[in-house]
Amino acid sequence: MQWSRIAVFASGQGSNFAALAEAERAGQLGGGRIELLVSDRPEAPVARRAEAAGIPSLLLRPKDFASRELYEAGIVAELQRRNIGLIVLAGYMRLISPVLLEPYAGRIINIHPSLLPAFAGKDAIGQALDYGVKLTGVTVHFVDGGMDTGPVIAQRSLAVEAGDTAESLAERIHRVEYELYPAVVAALAAGKVELDGRRAIIRA
Ligand code: GAR
């Protein structure tokens, strides 16, 4: 499996997908190529972004399958057919089962809009605002069987301003994501990330 053959999974707007596709176009994805978009919501804007970028997509509705396992088995077959070596979750709002985790162990990453382990799960930005933290941020991590619990690869912090709303904070978080995620994917695609226990090391 080649690290440079990438599938991006997304459920919604796909602005991170677009940032990754733009980084590839600009030659800034470490030689990585986005070979496929996988979405569980065929009507999501991300599907139109993939079409516009000329990237093939696999659009499957989980409710059309008898179980989550069968839904994921269909995805795994397509990933293997395309020799995908790295799965990049970018706003993919589903937990992954062992059917997908096992064949891709250590090869699935996620981006989350908080400094994990703070504010895992849904609505991380709202959770951070409600808690009243002064610093929050973005985490890129390997995916394991838990909810946002895998080893951290990279984090960036940013300040929460006094007048922030969920919208204003999300906008600044997104801007950080659009820089951080392509940089981490580039490092992985180029084979520069090592894992020592829970500690990920990005080699220069
Ligand atoms: C991103 O902010 C990402 O960090 C978040 O969803 C957003 C997707 O935006 N992911 C999670 O909350 C995962 N728990 P996008 O569709 O515009 O890229």
N residues, the chain: 204
Distance 180 CA to ligand 1 centre (A): 13
Taking alpha carbons only, the member of 98, 88, 39 closest to residue 67 is 98
CATH number at residue 177: 3.40.50.170
List all residues whose CB is within 6 A of at least one atom of ligand 1.
10, 12-16, 90-91, 111-113, 124, 174, 177
Ligand 1 atom nearest residue 174's Cα: 2
- Strand bridging mode 193-196 / 152-159: unpaired
112 catalytic, yes or no?
yes
115 alpha carbon – ligand 1 mean position (Å) = 14
Q: Which of the residues 5, 49, 112, 141 is marked catalytic?
A: 112
Residue 30 tokens, joined: 């470490």
For 89, the token pair is: 């979750």
Number of separate domains in the chain: 1
Residue 98: which domain range?
2-202
| pLDDT tens figures, 53-98 | 999 999 999 999 999 999 999 999 999 999 999 999 999 999 999 9
Residue position matching structure tokens 């220069």: 204
pTM of the model: 0.98
